[in-house]
Structure 1
Amino acid sequence: MSLYITSLNSGSNGNCYYVGNDTEAVLIDVGISCRQIERRLDQLGLSIHTVKAIFVSHEHTDHVSGIPQLAKKYQLPVYITARTLQNSRLASQAYPLRPLRSDSPVWIGDLCVSAFLKLHDAADPHSFLVRYKGTNVGVFTDLGYPCESLIEHFSQCHAAFLEANYDEEMLENGRYPYFLKQRIRGGKGHLSNQQALALFRAHKPAHMSHVLLAHLSKENNCPDLVASQFAPHRDSTEVIVAPRYAATPVYTIKAPVPAETEVPA
């Protein structure tokens, strides 16, 4: 059974990732406006009415700024941890709020969404794995370090949104002040191209068909650079760099059908 995925926007200016089947979908984070989401889904041939829920990774503005308007307009349930809610401005009676807990799956129709802790400088940050009838898609951004839990979930994926935020040399030689460089690369900030590539090379499963490189820094990265770094190691995996100001195409993700086992005569 297939899942359809797209990055509607990716970067410090706003993040929003779509994962769905033919009848239901979820958004992971909504850091862009309701109007932008409606327009981009329409351009992609996707319906906003297929979206049944929003899941929140953490409280930073580029991940939550569009939630109130979108959730209120379409009465979408917002799944969020208690600590993330306390540190955000999302508490509202205008749309339904639902509890989110680590390693406690949430079913949205036939979609199973599991959240797990990640390393990031937020109150209670989580990554996500979306499952549908044997097909797995991960959403892994805003990562300080590729911890064991990330490795475990990444190795299960048929497709993944994977952060490649900065090039280490560009960050080191760039104009950011020292404290900000340390925040980015200090273990609870963001994942570098080099860290993302090391994870990809060491733990990419043979069945991974797509990886969407996400949350690129405008100042400390370059789409062509990160694409060229991944290209020699992609094997059969399609590598896509998610843009900062536009959606990617929609990609169809489907678990391969296992070969039938021959039964001896």
Structure 2
Amino acid sequence: MPVFIASLNSGSNGNCYYVGNEHEAVLIDAGISCRETEKRMLRLGLSLKKVKAIFISHEHSDHIRGLAVLAKKYQLPVYVTDGTVHHCGEVPRELCFSLRSYEMVQIGNLQVMPFPKHHDAVEPHSFMITNGDTRIGVFTDIGAPCEHLVRHFAQCHAVFLEANYDEQMLEQGRYPYFLKKRIRGGKGHLSNRQALEMFIEHRPPYMSHVLLSHLSKDNNDPELALQFFAEHAGETKISIASRYYESEVFVIDPQPLAAGESHVLNQVTGQFQFALS
């Protein structure tokens, strides 16, 4: 069964990622408004009725800004660590469920595995979402690669991978020293170089898609990030998860399609179907 993924927004102004199959889906983070989430999903032909849960990576505002309204309006369970939930505003406690490292959460046919990461937050987590034989990673806000990240990255068919800053742009940019130190200090963000090293050293041969995510407005450039990966991409499709608009919906399917066959999204029903090209 194929998995459908999309970035609704990715950056310091808000983060929200969609991962789903034909029947159910989850959102990783809710850092844009409920209204904007609805608008962007509608443009993509995705239905919020399929979303069965929201998973929160950490408490920074660009990951929870739209959480309370979205969760209350759609009565969505929110999976969040005990240390993070106190920072999540007006989310009704009856909608909050405890998230713990390496305790898998089953959402229909989706299995969501949280694991710890390096970031300057209370209890920050990354996620690997599994559907059948297909595995999707959401790996952003990472100060430095660790054994948890390497282990899960090496299993994924597609990933949202942080490439926050270009090292030279950050060094020569306008940010004060303390902020530069925070970004590159091991609990901030991954650079283009660090992301590429992760890709080169630990990419499995079947990884089909990488969405470079959480790019800095001031210290990175989408074209520069893509150039970093271009000569090493091979058969992997490299895309940018924008801080201004939603990505396309990517179909991740470990089973190759028959010759001349493609996936098409029915904009009326929101269902993906096969078509002959």
> Common fold, TM-score beyond 0.5?
yes
TM-score, structure 1 length as denominator?
0.95
1:98 aligns with 2:97: yes
Q: Any idea what the Cα deviations from partners look like across 1:182-222, whole Å, max 9, x if unmatched?
A: 00000000000000000001111110000000000000000
TM-score, structure 2 length as denominator?
0.91
1:28 aligns with 2:16: no
Q: Any idea what the Cα deviations from partners look like across 1:43-70, whole Å, max 9, x if unmatched?
A: 1111011100000000000000100000
What letter is aligned with 2:122? A
d(CA) in 2 for partners of 1:7, 1:44: 10
d(CA) in 2 for partners of 1:96, 1:90: 12
**More displaced 10-residue stretch of structure 1: 91-100 or 25-34:** 91-100
Q: What's 2:236 paired with?
A: 237
Tell me, yes or no, if the aligned pair for 2:72 and 2:91 is still in contact at 8 Å. no
d(CA) in 2 for partners of 1:89, 1:196: 29
d(CA) in 2 for partners of 1:253, 1:92: 32
Secondary structure of 2:186's counterpart equals coil
d(CA) in 2 for partners of 1:119, 1:92: 26
What letter is aligned with 1:221? N
Tell me, yes or no, if the aligned pair for 1:72 and 1:94 is still in contact at 8 Å. no
Q: What's 2:198 paired with?
A: 199
What displacement does 1:85 show? 1.3
Secondary structure of 1:131's counterpart equals strand
Q: Any idea what the Cα deviations from partners look like across 1:109-138, whole Å, max 9, x if unmatched?
A: 010000000000000000000000010000
d(CA) in 2 for partners of 1:192, 1:56: 23
What displacement does 1:94 show? 6.9
Tell me, yes or no, if the aligned pair for 1:164 and 1:193 is still in contact at 8 Å. yes
Tell me, yes or no, if the aligned pair for 2:71 and 2:91 is still in contact at 8 Å. no
| 1:62-141 matched pairs, under 5 angstroms | 62-86=62-86, 88-90=87-89, 92-93=91-92, 96-141=95-140
**Where does the alignment leave 5 or more consecutive residues of structure 2 unmatched?**
257-277
**Where does the alignment leave 5 or more consecutive residues of structure 1 unmatched?**
258-265
* Sequence identity percentage: 59
- Name segments (4+ residues, structure 1) moved above 6 Å: none
Secondary structure of 2:83's counterpart equals helix
Q: Any idea what the Cα deviations from partners look like across 1:9-41, whole Å, max 9, x if unmatched?
A: 000000000000001000000000111111111
Tell me, yes or no, if the aligned pair for 2:127 and 2:137 is still in contact at 8 Å. yes
Q: Any idea what the Cα deviations from partners look like across 1:140-194, whole Å, max 9, x if unmatched?
A: 0000001011000000000000000000000000000000000000000000000
What displacement does 1:77 show? 0.2
What displacement does 1:84 show? 1.0
Secondary structure of 1:11's counterpart equals coil
Tell me, yes or no, if the aligned pair for 1:4 and 1:251 is still in contact at 8 Å. yes
Tell me, yes or no, if the aligned pair for 2:3 and 2:251 is still in contact at 8 Å. yes
What displacement does 1:89 show? 3.2
Secondary structure of 2:251's counterpart equals strand
- RMSD (Å) for aligned C-alpha atoms: 1.0
d(CA) in 2 for partners of 1:50, 1:220: 36
What letter is aligned with 2:48? I
Q: What's 1:47 paired with?
A: 47
Pair 1:97–1:207, CA change in 2 (3 A): same
Secondary structure of 1:145's counterpart equals coil
Q: What's 2:9 paired with?
A: 9
What displacement does 1:93 show? 2.7
d(CA) in 2 for partners of 1:214, 1:63: 13
What letter is aligned with 2:161? L
What displacement does 1:92 show? 3.7
Tell me, yes or no, if the aligned pair for 1:15 and 1:31 is still in contact at 8 Å. yes
Q: What's 2:145 paired with?
A: 146
**More displaced 10-residue stretch of structure 1: 114-123 or 37-46:** 37-46
d(CA) in 1 for partners of 2:42, 2:94: 23
What displacement does 1:245 show? 1.1
What letter is aligned with 1:11? G
Tell me, yes or no, if the aligned pair for 1:75 and 1:95 is still in contact at 8 Å. no
